[in-house]
Structure 1
Amino acid sequence: MLMQIGSFNDYYDKLTTIEKKNSPKEIFYKGDFSLLENGRRVAVVGSRKVSDLGVRRARKIAQLLVQNDITVVSGLAEGIATIAHKTAIES
């Protein structure tokens, strides 16, 4: 189940200057929101039409990120983003 954060200001105040530059007006999440508030995090993005090599690379990158305590954040777009997300959860 997706949950909406209480208000825009609740999460906006916690963003870095760079994150605030392009932040959305609403945000929905599933899982442990504290992972977005603390530590290092990165979004893995790429093609929606993925080659076999792209799949292998996305999986390897996600595994290395998780092994180094970096949270993989995803909007679950088809392709690379979903592959990286699923790999991070499995790692």
Structure 2
Amino acid sequence: MSPLLANAILLSLFIFSVAMILTLLRLFRGPSAQDRVLALDYLYIIAMLMMLTLAIRYSSDTYFEAALLIALFGFVGSFALAKFLLRGEVIE
């Protein structure tokens, strides 16, 4: 791996972790439930991007599979939360 790529990966991981901290602040201090759901959606997207960055850094397929699982569970979770906010129940 070239030094430029290694530095770019470290910089992107640092920026992703700062974004994750700011998103956690929005998640805990959000004025409404919709803000908290959006922060949770953004949180799983950042986690997925961090996994993909680590997959590039370590050249491992396991991180790609973990990113895929995070994306699938995040979508299902955000769908369930949106349905709960609209109707007050998840299972009909």
Shared fold (TM-score greater than 0.5)? no
Q: Provide TM-score, normalisation by structure 1.
A: 0.29
* Greater Cα radius of gyration, structure 1 or 2: 2
Work out which structure has the larger RCO, using CA pairs closer than 8 Å and 6 or more positions apart in sequence. 1
More strand by share: 1
